[in-house]
């Protein structure tokens, strides 16, 4: 993460930053985080690091979450459960991070559902990846 320009930020501080920023600044910040997330996902995938999955990369950005993956031959879903409810702005950031990582991995995001402390991201594998576990 460091080599690609990322830094670790405490979740509470990040939440305050996201919630207090004006919409334009918040959108720019989210775009930067998405770019970093995609860069990490592409870097890992190109290096054929078979033991690292999109779920692991999402965990880099949300280390205090419980992240589960339900993966069948064609489709899957990532379920992100946070220890405590977060603001709608933080949910939007988490959606942006998780969907960008999955898309950079070559998966098609079909649906994203959010609740106060749970995010569910459903995806479909490309034809050549069907039958493989992520």
Helix, strand, or coil (residue 94):
helix
Helix, strand, or coil (residue 120):
strand
Can you read off the two tokens belonging to residue 16? Answer: 């305050």
Q: Tens digit of pLDDT for each residue in 87-104? A: 899 899 999 999 999 999
User: Distance between CA 74 and CA 126 in Å, rounded?
Assistant: 8
Q: Tens digit of pLDDT for each residue in 13-62? A: 678 888 888 999 999 999 999 999 999 999 998 888 878 999 999 998 88
User: DSSP string covering 52-85, please?
Assistant: --HHHHHHHH-TTSEEEEEE-SSEEEEEEE-SS-
The pTM of this model reads 0.84
User: Distance between CA 65 and CA 61 in Å, rounded?
Assistant: 9
* Residue 2 predicted with pLDDT over 50: no
Angle subtended at Cα 107 by Cα 87 and Cα 26, rounded to the nearest 5 degrees = 30
């Amino acid at each position: 993460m460091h080599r690609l320009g990322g830094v670790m930020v405490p979740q509470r501080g990040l939440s305050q930053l996201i919630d207090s920023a004006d919409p334009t600044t918040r959108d720019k910040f989210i775009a930067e985080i998405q770019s970093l997330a995609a860069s990490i996902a592409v870097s890992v995938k190109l290096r054929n690091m078979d033991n690292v999955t999109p779920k692991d990369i999402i965990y880099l950005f949300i280390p205090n979450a419980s992240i589960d993956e339900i993966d069948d031959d064609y489709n899957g879903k990532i379920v992100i459960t946070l220890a405590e409810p977060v603001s709608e702005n933080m949910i939007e950031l988490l959606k942006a991070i998780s969907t960008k990582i999955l898309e950079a991995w070559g998966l098609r995001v079909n649906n994203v559902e959010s609740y106060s402390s749970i995010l569910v991201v459903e995806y479909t594998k490309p034809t050549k990846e069907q039958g493989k576990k992520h």
